Structure 1
Amino acid sequence: MTASTRTLVTGATGTVGSTVVRALRAAGRPTYSVSRGGTEGTHHFVWRMGEEEPPAELRGSWDAIVHCVADTRFGLPDGDAEEANVRPLRAALSLAGPDTHFVHLSSSFVTGLEGDITSPSRDAYRNSYEWSKATAERLVHAERDNADIVRFPIVVGARADGSLDRYSGFFWLPAAMCNGAVPALVAEEKGLLDMVSTDDIAAHVTRLLDSGPPRGHRLSVLGRGDDAQRVGEAFDTVLDALNDWRAENGVTPLDRLPYVTPQQWNRFYLPFAEEYLDRMQLLKVTAFRAYQGYLSVTDPFDVTVRVPDTRDVLYRSIRRWAKTHETSARRVPRPWRA
C-alpha cells in the first residue's frame, strides 16, 4: 500500500460497512465512503447507487472498492430485492477499472436450497434476499476477471462491547422475546447457528486489500463452521443477556420459550392455531416464518476462515441492544390467547 492508494467503501453507514471504513482508516489506508442517505462530509458522499449518476468526486481510478451495500430483509418482493442488492452492485462495478481490487461482500446463505449460486431460478432459493445475493455473485463473475467475494453468516457486534452502528437482521430476536411477538421458538434446538463479529469481517477485508488483488475469483467464507453454537445454546445466551440487563434495571425476567420444530409447527400447530389467532397474531407468526430455515441448519458451513468463538460477543451484543433500545428491552410480553 502506498500513500496515494485510494479505497472506496459502499454502504458505509450500514452494519458492516461502517466497521470496514473505521478499520481501513485505522490501518492508514486513505478511504472514501458512500451511502444512500445521511450527511456528506470529508471523504463521505451521498449517492443512491443504481438510481442516479455517481457524484463527480467518485469518478476516476480506484485502487480498491469494497462493496458492502445489502438489504437483508427476507420478505422483499423480487423486484425490490433486485433493486436493493443487484443494481447498486452494477453501479459499483462501473467505477472499477481493470486494475481495481474489487471486494464484494456476500452471504453464507447465498447458496440457497441447492448448495450453489449457479441457478437463476427463484425457486432455488428460500427467499428474495438469497436469490438477489446469488444474482449479485454471478454478476461479479461475469463482469470481473478477478475479484474477492467474502461470505459470512449472521452478524453480531464488536468483540469488545457488542456495539453496532445499526441493529438489524438477527436482532429481531431480542425484540420478539421482549414483546411476545411469537408464542414459541420454531427452530431445531440442536441445529447450528453460525455467527461472526463485524470486527472479523473488517479485519479480513483489511488483510485482503493488504495482500493485493487475486489472480482470479477468490472466495472467502467466514464463520465457526462445525464449531458454531447450537441454536439452543445461542437462544439461552440471548435470554441470559436480556434477563441480566432486565434484573439490573428492575424489569421482570423473561421466561424461556418452548421449542417447536418447523415440521411440527407447520404441519400440526399452525393449521390448528390459524383458526383462533387474531389478525395481529397471524401477522406476527407469518413474519417470523421466514427465519425458520436459518434456525434449522444442521450442516455446518464449509468455512475457509475460522473466526474466534462468538459466545461472549453474542452476550455483549444483546446487552448492548438492550441499552440502546431500552423501551423495547423493558417490555413485558403478554401471554398468547385465542
Structure 2
Amino acid sequence: MSEPVRILVTGATGAVGAALTRALDAAGHRPHGVSRRGGTGPRQHTWSAGLEEPPPALRRTWDVVVHCAADTRWNLPEEEAERANVAPLRAVLGLAAPGTHFVHLSSSYVTGLTGDIRSPSPAAYRNSYEWSKARAERLVHAERDSADIVRFPVVMGARADGSLDRYSGFFWLPSSLCSGAVPAMVAEEKALLDIVSTDDVADHVVRLVAGGPPTGRRLSILGRGEDAQPVAEVFETVRAALNSWRAEHGVPALDRLPSMTPEQWNRFYLPFAEEHLDRAQLLRVTAFRAYQGYLSVTEPFAVTHRVPDTVEVLHRSIRRWAETHQSSARRVPRAWS
C-alpha cells in the first residue's frame, strides 16, 4: 500500500485555500493547512509566515506545498506589501525540499501595466499588491527549478451556491452600491472583468497535484479570456442579484448608475464636483479611485485553461454575500447631490 501524499496548504482559512482543502479532502487526500489565525482540527496549524519560525509540526518533508496565502489589499506601502506577500513566500519555500511539488497561487493582474513580471519598479504596476505578487513570482523562478505557478483573476464563490469562506476584494462593489458610495459606473466602454469560481481554482490545483511535479516551471492561467463579461454587464449582474434579494426582504431596489469613462469622470465631473462634496463623500470618491484601473482593462487575459461561464456564479455569489451581510445589503443609498 502506497504512503499517503503529504500536502501542506498555506492560507488554508482563506477563500481559495479553504475551498482547496475541501477539494483535496474529497479527492482522498489528508492535507494539512496553515494560516495566521489557524483553523479547527488536528491538521490545521497556526503560523505567521515570514514573522516567526515555523512550528515543529510543519518541519517535516512535504510531498506537495500549495502556497495560497496572500494579502490582497491594494493600498499597502511597498515595504508592507513585501512583508505581506514576499516574506511569507520566502519562509514557505524554506519548508519545501528539492523534490517537493511546489504550487504557487498568483494573480492574473500580476503583469501590471507592462504585460510581464520582469520589472522591479512599482511604477510598472497598478498598485503595491501587483508589484509584490510579481516579485513573489520572480522569487519562485529564482529559488525553484520545478514549480507550478497558477494565475487567476477575480474570485467568486462556489458554483453551486456562491458560498465563500471569506469576503474581500471585489465585494467592495455590492457594499458600495448598497451604501451609495459609488456615484457612477466609471469604466472604459470595452472593459472586461474576468472572473473564476473557487471551484475552478481548487479543481485545477487538485489535478496538478494528481499529475505530479512538472519538469521545470509551469504556468497556468485560469479565466474566461475574451469571453469574460464586459464591466457594464458585471455591474448589471451585481445590481440584479442585489435587487432580487432586496425584493424578497422588502427593501427598495437599487437604481442603475450613470456610466462614464475614467477620463470623463476625472477630468470633467470630479474637479467641479469635489468642492460640493461632504467629507464622507470625498472619502468614498478617493477610495473608489483605487478600483478604476481594474474597471478599465480592455485586453483579455491570454488564458491557458478556460473556465465555464461565470455569470451565474457571480449572481449566486452576490446573493450569498447579501444573505451573510444583511445589514449592509439592506441599506438604502443616500442620493448624491
- Shorter-chain TM range is over 0.9
Amino-acid identity (%): 71
Equivalent residue, structure 2, for 1:216: 216
Between the aligned partners of 2:126 and 2:297, the Cα distance in structure 1 is 13
Letter in 1 for 2:183: P
Identify unmatched segments of 5+ residues in structure 2. Answer: none
Which residue does 1:239 correspond to in 2? Answer: 239
Cα deviation code 1:107-156 (max 9, x no counterpart):
00000011000000111111000000000000000000110000000000
Contact 1:3 1:29 in 2 (8 A): no
Q: Which residue of 2 aligns with 1:80?
A: 80
Residues 191 and 230 in structure 1, CA contact (< 8 A), matched pair in contact too: yes
Distance 1:165 1:39 in 2: 12
Residues 67-113 of structure 1, C-alpha deviations (whole Å, 9 max, x = no match): 00111111111111111111110111000000000000000000001
1:159-308 superposed matches below 5 A = 159-308=159-308
Q: Would the aligned equivalents of 1:182 and 1:284 in 2 still touch at CA under 8 Å?
A: yes
Cα distance, 1:38 vs. partner? 3.7
Is the contact made by 1:196 and 1:222 (CA closer than 8 Å) also made in structure 2? yes
Partner of 1:126: 126
Does structure 2 retain, via aligned residues, the 8 Å contact 1:110–1:130? Answer: yes
1:185 shift after superposition:
1.4
Partner Cα separation in structure 1 for residue 98 and residue 2 of structure 2: 19
- 1:155 equivalent in structure 2: 155
Using the TM superposition, give the Cα deviation of residue 40 of structure 1 relative to its aligned residue in structure 2, in angstroms: 5.1
Q: Is the 8 A contact 1:12 1:21 kept in 2?
A: yes
Alpha-carbon contact 2:191-2:231 (below 8 Å) kept:
yes
Cα distance in 2, alignment partners of residues 4 and 311 from structure 1 = 38
CA contact (8 A) 1:190 1:230 kept: yes
Partner in structure 2 of residue 52 of structure 1: 52
Matched, 1:64 2:61: no
Deviation string, structure 1 residues 31-64 (Cα, Å, up to 9, x no partner): 0000101455311100000000001010021000
Offset of residue 30 of structure 1: 2.0
Q: Tell me which residue corresponds to 2:13.
A: 13
**Does 2:79 correspond to 1:91?**
no
Q: Which runs of 5+ in 1 are unaligned?
A: none
Q: What per-residue deviation string (whole Å, max 9, x for no partner) do you get for residues 252-275 of structure 1? A: 000001111111111111111222
Whole-angstrom CA distance in 2 between matches of 1:204 and 1:171: 24
Partner letter of residue 84 of structure 1? A
TM-score by length of 2: 0.98
Provide the rounded CA distance (Å) in 1 between the counterparts of 2:251 and 2:122. 45
Given residue 45 of structure 2, which amino acid in structure 1 is its aligned partner? F
Which residue is 1:43 aligned to?
43
Letter in 2 for 1:332: V
- In 2, Cα distance between equivalents of 1:244 and 1:205: 34
Moved more, 76-85 or 62-71: 76-85
Stretch moving more, 302-311 or 263-272: 263-272
Cross-structure match for 1:34: 34
* RMSD over equivalenced CA pairs, Å: 1.1
Q: Which moved more, 1:259-268 or 1:48-57?
A: 259-268
* Residue 110 of structure 2: aligned partner: 110
Alignment size in residue pairs: 337
- Using structure 1 for the length normalisation, give the TM-score: 0.98
Structure-2 change in CA distance of 1:39 and 1:66 (3 Å): closer
SS at match of 1:145: coil
Q: Give 2:34's aligned amino acid.
A: V
CA distance in 2 between counterparts of 1:129 and 1:8 reads 24
CA positional deviation for 1:26? 0.9
| Conserved 8 A contact 2:140-2:147 | yes
Asked whether the 8 Å contact 1:237–1:315 carries over to 2, the reply is yes
Structure 2 Cα separation of the partners of residues 288 and 76 of structure 1: 16
Partner Cα distance (2:264, 2:137) in 1? 35
Cα 1:191–1:7 shift into 2, 3 Å: same
Q: Distance in 2 between matches of 1:213 and 1:126?
A: 32
2:139 equivalent in structure 1: 139
* Whole-Å separation in 2 of the counterparts to 1:205 and 1:333: 40
